[in-house]
Amino acid sequence: MVRVRFAPSPTGYLHVGGLRTALYNWLLARREGGQFLLRIEDTDRTRLVEGAVEALLDSLKWAGITPDEGALVGGPYGPYVQSERLPIYREMVDKLIAAGHAYYCFCTPEELAARRAEKEAQGESTAYDRHCRSLSKEEVERRLGAGEPYVVRMIIPDGREIVIDDVVRGQVSFDSSLVDDQILLKSDGFPTYHLAAVVDDHLMKITHVIRGEEWLSSTPKHVLLYEYFGWEPPKFAHVPLIINESGKKLSKRDGDVSVEAYREKGYLPEGLLNFLAMLGWNPGDEREFFTKETLAECFSLERVRKSGAVFDFNKLLYINGLHMRTIPADKLADMVLPFFDKAGWERPERDYLIKVIEVMAERANLLTDYVEPIPYFYKDPTEYEEATVKKRWKAASHELLSGWADEMKNMEEFTPEALEASLRAYAESHGVGAGQLIHPTRLAITGVGNGPSLFHMMEVLGKDTCLRRIEAALKVLA
């Protein structure tokens, strides 16, 4: 039975890289008929952010990557929040001490800093100097008895080659001499990530640890811990970093990194997930459109690549557009309506919005594309884009438009076909090209130079609105 986990630390929001990690775990569980767990790793008390757990869960729920077991959902291996498991870690640490795999360390932060500075000045390694490894049993007892603060460190043997068989990266080997005597239990009684993750992965019967590449260098410590405890380690799969165009780790400076930001910008969960899935993984063929379900059918860790995956914002937009166009207009309308509230605009009638969506569908890649970029569907323009006026409003425009508007008044059918026929006939009878009328009409009705098909848009707006706007524009652009 495959059991995988997503184990975020609640230090803020859900990062897109975190969502990709969660997705890969979820996909493997779905594909293998296994279970996907959510564990909250909140043992670093200095980095806790209030409301971060809720924000995380909210983003996961929006994405539809929901756990089968874990924090909030419950399950047989709980609690799934590490701060509620302190006695378990204490017991495990005591076992390691008793077996000679870990030791008490009483070095104070000040002492450590001073010794580190000294070594740095001499150009030596600044790793922990293992000072407390050699304290006598009596001294340890005495200092514990006196209530001195301490941490517990694991013993890292010298000169061992630790080999990890990573599903993504193949064999990776580490020289143990370069690994620090890692702190397992901190002076506040909380475990470090390393101890807690290993203990929990074992007790929660995790079979595959799928996580970001940044954790690869910690894995030798984890492997040693499994060995010390006499436990079978899980399979490890370290997925590539998400990088920007210049090969650096994606950061806020490159653009949005929180899942919430994409949600607010009008991305669909399906679009974001499809895009993220393919950051570092590919199906082995040309397909690029996937739902979570079709991904789960073909996902495999073996097709995750080693090198960094470039976050291409244009590609994300494109993929999102593909998903947008699979959703029927009436369903899209319900998804778009809340964005009017966010924009501080009055909500249009639902039926009217459906018509707007039908006209705009080919051009919209985001839910928000149906709101801010097309104000003219919801309000009369109050300004006319200067560059477009310069380019499109010619000496003859006023007379032409006002003449055609008069004809429009008598039109019985206000359909795209009828409008186009009428415009073309009018232009021809006045010896000008259709463009001489099309561009000024668009400018008058929308205030801008670009948009969807003019005649379809006019039908949606309706005759009264079109005539009112043309009249207003003729006054301003006189």
User: Closest distance between ligand GLU and the C-beta of residue 197, in Å?
Assistant: 5
Name which of residues 375 to 434 contact ligand GLU (CB under 6 A). none
Name which of residues 181 to 240 contact ligand GLU (CB under 6 A). 193, 197, 211, 215
Distance (Å, whole) CA 71 – CA 179: 32
- DSSP element (H, E) containing 210: strand 208-212
Reduced to 3 states, what is the DSSP secondary structure of residue 72?
Answer: coil
From the list 7, 14, 316, 437, which residue makes contact with ligand GLU (rule: CB under 6 A)?
7
Residue 29 contacts ligand GLU per CB under 6 A: no
Residue 57 contacts ligand GLU per CB under 6 A: no
User: Closest distance between ligand GLU and the C-beta of residue 259, in Å?
Assistant: 15
Distance (Å, whole) CA 124 – CA 117: 10
Reduced to 3 states, what is the DSSP secondary structure of residue 405?
Answer: helix
User: Closest distance between ligand GLU and the C-beta of residue 32, in Å?
Assistant: 19
Q: Which is nearer to ligand GLU, 143 or 202 (CB)?
A: 202
Q: Segment contacting ligand GLU (CB under 6 A): 1-9, 124-132, 237-245, 359-367?
A: 1-9
Residue 16 contacts ligand GLU per CB under 6 A: no
CA neighbor of 229 nearest in space, from 94, 130, 137: 94
Q: Which is nearer to ligand GLU, 181 or 213 (CB)?
A: 213
Q: Which is nearer to ligand GLU, 197 or 389 (CB)?
A: 197
Q: Which is nearer to ligand GLU, 20 or 442 (CB)?
A: 20
Q: Which of 137, 252, 390, 409 is flagged as catalytic?
A: 252
Q: Give the binding-site size for ligand GLU (rule: CB under 6 A).
A: 8
Those residues with Cβ within 8 angstroms of residue 47's Cβ, 6 or more apart along the chain or in another chain: 9, 11
Residue 179 contacts ligand GLU per CB under 6 A: no
> Is residue 380 left, alpha or beta, with left meaning phi > 0 and alpha meaning psi from -120 to 50?
beta
Q: Segment contacting ligand GLU (CB under 6 A): 5-13, 30-38, 382-390, 409-417?
A: 5-13
338's tokens? 């809340």
CA neighbor of 469 nearest in space, from 393, 377, 366, 399: 377
287 φ/ψ angles, rounded to the nearest 5 degrees: -60, 145
Q: Which is nearer to ligand GLU, 162 or 210 (CB)?
A: 210
For residue 103, the cross-strand partners are: 153
User: Closest distance between ligand GLU and the C-beta of residue 236, in Å?
Assistant: 9
Residue 17 contacts ligand GLU per CB under 6 A: no
Residue 59 contacts ligand GLU per CB under 6 A: no
- DSSP element (H, E) containing 153: strand 151-154
186 is catalytic: no
Distance (Å, whole) CA 191 – CA 187: 9
- Sheet with 3-6, strands from edge to edge, namely 69-70, 35-38, 3-6, 208-212, 235-239, 161-166, 170-175
Catalytic residue numbers?
A: 252
